[in-house]
Amino acid sequence: MFMRSQAPDIVVVMEPSVSGDNADNFICRSGFDHSYQVEATGLSGGIWVLWNDSVVLDVVVVSNQFIHASCSEAGSSKHFFITFVYASPNASRRSGV
């Protein structure tokens, strides 16, 4: 409902609880032009970034807990960096964040 009414150009899904072909099918049906995925491990973790052509997003650094990217509006020379973080609830696994 939110995506239909607001029509965002970037959407981030944290801990999607699906991976592999199920994730690929969902992303293909989402209507976004581009995507980048950090696969979930079982039912935990995972980050999906979905975006439209109106946004230029270049992934710079990736780990199993974050995606760091350079972002700008298409046709604009101004850009910014953005980091999408999924921090594990397990304290020992968060040490890399």
pLDDT of 5-20, one tens digit each? 788 999 999 988 877 8
Q: Which residues contact 84 (CB under 8 A, 6 or more apart)?
A: 12, 14, 47, 49, 66, 67, 69
More reliable by pLDDT, 1 or 62 = 62
- 89: exposed, middle or buried (Cβ count in 10 Å: 0-12, 13-18, 19+): exposed
HEC profile of 33-69: CEEEEECCECCECCEEEEECCCEEEEEEEECCCEEEE
Task: Work out the percent of the chain whose per-residue pLDDT is above 70.
Answer: 91
Q: What is the mean pLDDT of residues 25-50?
A: 89
Q: What is the CATH number of the domain that holds 20?
A: 3.60.10.10
- Report the predicted TM-score, pTM, of the whole model to 2 decimal places: 0.85
**What residue numbers bound the domain in which 62 lies?**
2-96
Q: What is the mean pLDDT of residues 53-57?
A: 96
Total number of domains in the chain: 1
